[in-house]
Amino acid sequence: MTALRVELPGLDMKNPIMPASGCFGFGEEYAKFYDLNVLGAIALKAATHKPRFGNETPRVAETPAGMLNAIGLQNPGVEKIVSEKLPWLEQFETPLLANVAGSQVEDYVETATVLSQSGKVAALELNISCPNVKEGGIAFGTDPDLAAELTRRVKAVSDIPVYVKLSPNVTDIVVIAQAVEKAGADGLSMINTLTGMKIDINTGRPLIANETGGLSGPAIKPIAIRMIREVRRQTELPIIGMGGITSVEDVIEFFLAGADAVAVGTANFINPYICPTLIKELEEWMEAKGYHHLRDVKRKGGWA
């Protein structure tokens, strides 16, 4: 297992695989299928300062090799997450990456402060890329100055490392990555979903109540791979890669693109065992190919 070990800021991971934020709730449902201790880390569902119901339904729609979702950051608010969700997660040794969302800088700062001070999470993941809330979120992810300012403000109150989750809904993702790196980000996670829409040809109306939703699943993988490679060329920051991973071959491709760890999202809905399956298959793949460490895989991609 040591061959799979990855040490990223705040995240001492026994393997590089974690479920992605929003696709795994706070772990309770998946703990009925397997021991969450096998995971490299867990990215928690987004927390906001105040409770949110989220969007009306339908919130999901299937698309070619993918799905659209517009959940709308439904969560019980950061106080309840800390008092009701995190204590249950403490039974696992797996490090927690807490996703932080909001509509104004102050929301992010307050939520990040509470999570950082809880002592129960290993790192923060700043969600500046949720396409499904009208009040903001993604606005921070599409403007390098706003992204940098938000990163600085959250870094100022956080005692734990801060990863910034980048939006692919931009012309040049490298500019945003460099801006948050300069502002003190400890790492990047990328990519969030791409804004999309599906129209019901019988009703003539968008299938999702929110009209637009975030596209995820295998359909977006080539975009994630391209963007990670572009960003990897320009920054030293660790990258948690995500976007349509369903197989061990996909995991390898993300490492070759320049990721240091990966997150699995939509695939959890298809196979609740996908994370432990990929962990096992990654170990077998490396053994079969004669790799002793993930570094060797990354080196093949051109990253030392």
Partner 1 sequence: MKKEHMTVGAIREIAHRIYEMKLFGTIATEVKMPGQFLHILPSHQLQPLLRRPISISHVNQEEKELTIVFRREGEGTTLLANKTPGDTVDVLGPLGNGFQVEEVSAGDSVLIVGGGVGVPPLYDLARALKEREANVTTVLGFENKEAMFYEKAFQSFGEVFVSTVDGSIGTKGFVTDVIQEKNISFDRLYACGPVPMLKALETNYPEAVGSLSLEIRMGCGIGACFACVCHVQGDASGHDYRKVCSDGPVFPWREVVL
Determine, following the binding rule CB under 8 A, whether residue 222 of this chain makes contact with partner 1: no
- When binding is defined by CB under 8 A, the residue of 37, 83, 234, 271 that contacts partner 1 is 271
45 labeled binding residue: yes
Nearer to partner 1, 10 or 66 (CB): 66
Burial label, 181 (beta-carbon count in 10 A; 0-12, 13-18, 19+): buried
Q: Which amino acid is at 27?
A: G
Piece in contact with partner 1 (CB under 8 A), picked from 47-55, 89-97, 119-127, 168-176: 47-55
List the x/- string, 7-46, binding to partner 1 by CB under 8 A: ---------------xxxx--xxx-xx-----------x-
Determine, following the binding rule CB under 8 A, whether residue 269 of this chain makes contact with partner 1: yes
Determine, following the binding rule CB under 8 A, whether residue 65 of this chain makes contact with partner 1: yes
Determine, following the binding rule CB under 8 A, whether residue 246 of this chain makes contact with partner 1: yes
- When binding is defined by CB under 8 A, the residue of 16, 40, 66, 243 that contacts partner 1 is 66
70 labeled binding residue: yes
Active site residue 23: no
42 labeled binding residue: no
Shortest CB 273 distance to partner 1, Å: 7
Count Cβ neighbours within 10 Å for each residue of 47-75 and write b for 16 or more, e otherwise: bbbeebeebeebbebebeebbbbbbbbeb
- When binding is defined by CB under 8 A, the residue of 35, 51, 199, 211 that contacts partner 1 is 51
Determine, following the binding rule CB under 8 A, whether residue 62 of this chain makes contact with partner 1: yes
Tokens of 80: 């309840």
Shortest CB 28 distance to partner 1, Å: 8
Name the β-bridge partners of 126. 100, 164
Determine, following the binding rule CB under 8 A, whether residue 89 of this chain makes contact with partner 1: no
Task: Supply the residues annotated as catalytic.
Answer: 130
Q: Which residues bind partner 1 (CB under 8 A)?
A: 22-25, 28-30, 32-33, 45, 51-54, 57-62, 64-67, 69, 71, 74, 76, 217-218, 246, 266, 268-273
Binding positions are 21, 45-46, 69-73, 99, 127, 165, 191-193, 217, 243-244, 265-266
